[in-house]
Chains A and B, each alone.
Chain A
Amino acid sequence: MILRGGRILDPQRRIDRVGDVVIRDGHIHAVAWDPKDIALSPQTRVIDVSGKWVVPAWVDMHVHLREPGEEYKETIATGTAAAVAGGFGAVACMPNTHPVNDCAAVTEFIRRRAQEQGFCRVYPVAAISKGLKGQELSEFGELREAGAVAVSDDGRPVTNAALMRRALEYARAFDLVVISHAEEESLSRGGHMHEGLVSTRLGLQGIPAAAEAAMIARDVLLAELTGGRLHIAHVSTEASVWILREAKRRGIAVTCETAPHYFTLTDECVEGFDTVFKVNPPLRTRRDVEAIKEGLADGTIDAIATDHAPHSVLEKDTEFQDAANGMIGLESALPLVLGLIREGVGNPLDILAKVTCNPARILGIPMGSLEPGSPAHVTVIDPEAEVVIDPEGFQSKGRNCPFRGWSVRGRAVLTLVDGLVRYPFH
């Protein structure tokens, strides 16, 4: 297969140039700047992608696929279909399933199910603690062997600082990154939205920004103490960015991600009490949104992940304070990330790195590159396509999309995984 005449953007190798990508036997065979350099056989499928962007398939390092246990919300099949429709060739799925992914059997189940039914690569993230209970470490070594690429108690913080210390230490033996859901529960407990002017007006108990930043501060100090690799999930506040910037300046091995809703939406959205805007960490203020963009611009924030969290109407069509936290994101992320480029937050290579080679590097997975010889995971993007976001047409089972009805620009027109066309669907 040849992808002909597209703008090739390979952030890892800092390539931004029009050319052809030749795919053979599931791998990138060559990247050529002159069509004459390519030997064409009559069987070769040539796809004209002029005017389009040819980029490494996107990597979402933070999703909830809900299987096993909550298949009514999402399955590995529907979640990965949503992924490829959104331009993602790989997802890392969080362990808060039922049962929890805290043992090799569950990790193996996810991997097997993904091979049988999945549309993209699925990289399981295993639990830090058995049952996500925050008491005893799960068996990192066995989990690593079974295919886990990271450990996290995502959805819950590791409240016990000593356990977090041991996790960061023990993970070093297996070269696992420890992903922290940073939330100081004694500050956040009982809260339903960001604590600020809007929560005061709405009479909803707030979650102060300090609940997140305080835990990040603890965890970067523990990373410094242990030398373990720390990654902070879903960064949402200005103070969090500030602490992480300082930690990196100090040379601490920490990386972090944010999500499109944290650089796009604010707590003002909660006016009207629509539970689609209930998420943890909560939507913050305009000032936090600006700080997140600064963090993306200066490299403090390494990755953009969706924290795709499908829920059914059972969890969402209820009183605000009783509604579940979470938003879906796989099928709306791409135009919002491209929006950062249009806004001038970063150049195409720097922004695309945050959804390709950076998350791949953090997780240590063979994704995020168009280098000849590497597996052909490729996304072709039409950056100018006008799209009205319509969750009713999503592949995901979730409809809890906060961007319903938004007019945006950019969509994936082709997603290749291991050289196979996984989107559009046949």
Chain B
Amino acid sequence: MGFTRKDLLGMRDLEVHEIETILDTAQSLKEINTRSIKKVPTLRGKTVVHLFYEPSTRTRTSFDIAAKRLSADTYSIATTTSSMVKGETFLDTIKNLEAMRPDVFIIRHSASGTPHRVAQRTTASVINAGDGMHEHPSQALLDMLTIREHKGRLEGLTVLIVGDIAHSRVARSNIWGLTKMGARVVVCGPPTLMPSHMDQLPVTVSLQLEPVIPSADVIMVLRLQKERQGQGLLPSLREYAAYYGIDRKKLAQAKPDVLIMHPGPMNRGVEISPDVADGPHSVILDQVTNGVAVRMALLYLLVQRDESAL
């Protein structure tokens, strides 16, 4: 089936066959990244604009490498160098950039829903590279690719997501993506970091970590923003680490082939202990490698979308 979507805004919108297409495409493009000449002409003459209104090293670099390996021309606009500081609104900036006929906008923004509002008013493709607490679909896709590589499947697996679920777009995107692909998702974190009505999403909620570790095939550890303590959501990082941090002792209860994942950047010693982060179960660097392949696949599929099927 052809890929006909103009934009990639969230995992919640995607159909199972679309997710499969993206993962399969990423898998086949991954080989390019191991060549000595890591470049193919697929997107030659296409223009990709990165609009990052929130700090990001890993995601932006990953998207930029992906675009360049497909021979697209890329331009980066970050908050400090944009018109934002001159008082122009974000949507005005988009209108102006649109007039220069880009093919793809890759947008990260602290406000949930901003890529969606942009997508409604541009003919270019929009990729959501993370919007507020809403979605981060390319992260979920690279997580799913990594799990599939190591486990051979997604269906039937139990994925435990631990930490600050309330503020996490990574958690939301993974919940939609993984459950569509037939995995069981367990979310775990302190009640103050658990969003309301979580029990109405297709997940199992646990407020305690230790009871849910043994059944997990994958443990996805979320970054804990240190500001959460100042916001009154946590008494201390120390207590958080004691009850919700993944360390060797807690990991001893897990399945022997459990995968440890983290979207980065890590607070070593808070949500994850250094020995676990660098230990034999960790696939954290595989996630980063797969990130480039997934983003190549997204750019390829959106730009080369099957318009005849529209």
Query: A residues touching B (Cβ–Cβ < 8 Å)?
Result: 195-197, 199-206, 208, 272-273, 317-322
Assembly CA distance A209 to B206 (angstroms): 25
Contact B132 A321 (CB under 8 A): yes
Interface range for B: 20 to 34
Assembly CA distance A197 to B111 (angstroms): 18
* Residue among A200, A317, A321 with most chain B CB within 10 A: A200
Chain B residues, Cβ within 8 Å of A195: 196
Question: Would you call the interface of chain A mostly helix, strand, loop, or mixed?
Answer: loop
B90's contact among A196, A203, A206, A318, by CB below 8 Å, is which? A318
Given contacts A203-B112, A319-B113, contact A197 B91 (CB under 8 A): no
Q: List 5 A-B contacts (CB under 8 A).
A: A200-B195, A200-B197, A201-B172, A201-B201, A318-B90
Using A197-B196, A273-B114, A320-B114 as known contacts, list a sample of 18 further A-B pairs with CB atoms less than 8 Å apart, ordered by residue number in A. Answer: A200-B196, A200-B197, A201-B12, A201-B172, A203-B135, A203-B172, A204-B132, A204-B133, A204-B134, A206-B196, A273-B116, A273-B117, A319-B113, A319-B117, A320-B112, A320-B113, A321-B112, A321-B132
Instruction: Report A322 CB to chain B, min CB distance, Å.
Output: 7
The 7 closest A-B pairs by CB, nearest first: A273-B113, A203-B134, A203-B133, A319-B111, A197-B197, A200-B195, A203-B112
Chain A residues, Cβ within 8 Å of B132: 203-204, 321
Chain B residues, Cβ within 8 Å of A201: 12, 172, 201
Assembly CA distance A196 to B110 (angstroms): 20
Assembly CA distance A199 to B166 (angstroms): 10
A197 nearest CB neighbor, chain B only: B197
Assembly CA distance A319 to B116 (angstroms): 10
Contact B133 A196 (CB under 8 A): no
Instruction: Report B160 CB to chain A, min CB distance, Å.
Output: 19
Q: Convert B265-295 into 0s and 1s, putting 1 for each residue whose CB lies closer than 8 angstroms to a CB of A.
A: 0000000000000000000000000000000
Instruction: Report A274 CB to chain B, min CB distance, Å.
Output: 8
Chain A residues, Cβ within 8 Å of B169: 203
A190 nearest CB neighbor, chain B only: B231
Q: Does B131 touch A at the CB level, under 8 Å?
A: yes
B116's contact among A208, A272, A321, by CB below 8 Å, is which? A272
Instruction: Report A325 CB to chain B, min CB distance, Å.
Output: 15
Assembly CA distance A273 to B110 (angstroms): 14
A318 nearest CB neighbor, chain B only: B89
B109's contact among A196, A202, A272, A319, by CB below 8 Å, is which? A319
Q: Does B233 touch A at the CB level, under 8 Å?
A: no
Q: Which residues, 1 to 54 on B, are CB-close (under 8 Å) to A?
A: 12
Assembly CA distance A203 to B198 (angstroms): 12
Assembly CA distance A202 to B134 (angstroms): 5
Q: Which residues, 163 to 197 on B, are CB-close (under 8 Å) to A?
A: 169, 172, 195-197
* Residue among A201, A204, A272, A318 with most chain B CB within 10 A: A201
Q: Does B200 touch A at the CB level, under 8 Å?
A: yes
Instruction: Report B173 CB to chain A, min CB distance, Å.
Output: 10
Assembly CA distance A347 to B224 (angstroms): 55
Chain B residues, Cβ within 8 Å of A205: 133
Assembly CA distance A320 to B131 (angstroms): 11
Contact B196 A199 (CB under 8 A): yes
Assembly CA distance A304 to B135 (angstroms): 38
Q: Which residues, 109 to 135 on B, are CB-close (under 8 Å) to A?
A: 109-114, 116-117, 131-135
Chain A residues, Cβ within 8 Å of B89: 317-318
Instruction: Report A191 CB to chain B, min CB distance, Å.
Output: 11
Assembly CA distance A322 to B201 (angstroms): 27
Given contacts A200-B195, A201-B172, A203-B169, contact A318 B113 (CB under 8 A): no
Contact A196 B113 (CB under 8 A): no
Q: Convert B129-146 into 0s and 1s, putting 1 for each residue whose CB lies closer than 8 angstroms to a CB of A.
A: 001111100000000000
Contact A317 B201 (CB under 8 A): no
Assembly CA distance A322 to B90 (angstroms): 11
Contact A200 B201 (CB under 8 A): yes
Contact B201 A203 (CB under 8 A): no
Contact A317 B91 (CB under 8 A): yes
Given contacts A203-B169, A273-B116, contact A321 B111 (CB under 8 A): yes
Contact B91 A204 (CB under 8 A): no
Chain A residues, Cβ within 8 Å of B198: 200
Q: Which residues, 68 to 112 on B, are CB-close (under 8 Å) to A?
A: 89-91, 109-112
Instruction: Report B168 CB to chain A, min CB distance, Å.
Output: 9
Instruction: Report B97 CB to chain A, min CB distance, Å.
Output: 16
Chain A residues, Cβ within 8 Å of B133: 203-205
Assembly CA distance A421 to B147 (angstroms): 72
B113's contact among A200, A202, A206, by CB below 8 Å, is which? A202
* Residue among A196, A272, A318 with most chain B CB within 10 A: A318
Assembly CA distance A318 to B114 (angstroms): 9
Q: Which residues, 203 to 260 on B, are CB-close (under 8 Å) to A?
A: none
Chain A residues, Cβ within 8 Å of B12: 201
Instruction: Report A268 CB to chain B, min CB distance, Å.
Output: 13
Assembly CA distance A208 to B114 (angstroms): 23
Assembly CA distance A208 to B195 (angstroms): 12
Instruction: Report B208 CB to chain A, min CB distance, Å.
Output: 21
Assembly CA distance A318 to B113 (angstroms): 11
Chain A residues, Cβ within 8 Å of B90: 318-319
Chain A residues, Cβ within 8 Å of B111: 319-322
* Residue among B91, B111, B116, B200 with most chain A CB within 10 A: B111
Contact A204 B196 (CB under 8 A): no
Chain B residues, Cβ within 8 Å of A197: 196-197, 200-201
Chain A residues, Cβ within 8 Å of B110: 321
Instruction: Report A297 CB to chain B, min CB distance, Å.
Output: 28
Instruction: Report A324 CB to chain B, min CB distance, Å.
Output: 13
Assembly CA distance A319 to B109 (angstroms): 10
Assembly CA distance A204 to B201 (angstroms): 16
Instruction: Report B199 CB to chain A, min CB distance, Å.
Output: 9
Assembly CA distance A273 to B114 (angstroms): 8
Instruction: Report A133 CB to chain B, min CB distance, Å.
Output: 26
Chain A residues, Cβ within 8 Å of B131: 203
* Residue among B112, B117, B198 with most chain A CB within 10 A: B112
A317 nearest CB neighbor, chain B only: B91
Chain A residues, Cβ within 8 Å of B172: 201, 203
Instruction: Report B165 CB to chain A, min CB distance, Å.
Output: 9
A194 nearest CB neighbor, chain B only: B196
Chain B residues, Cβ within 8 Å of A204: 112-113, 132-134
Instruction: Report B185 CB to chain A, min CB distance, Å.
Output: 14
Instruction: Report B177 CB to chain A, min CB distance, Å.
Output: 14
Contact A196 B114 (CB under 8 A): no
Assembly CA distance A197 to B195 (angstroms): 9
Assembly CA distance A205 to B111 (angstroms): 10
Instruction: Report A157 CB to chain B, min CB distance, Å.
Output: 20
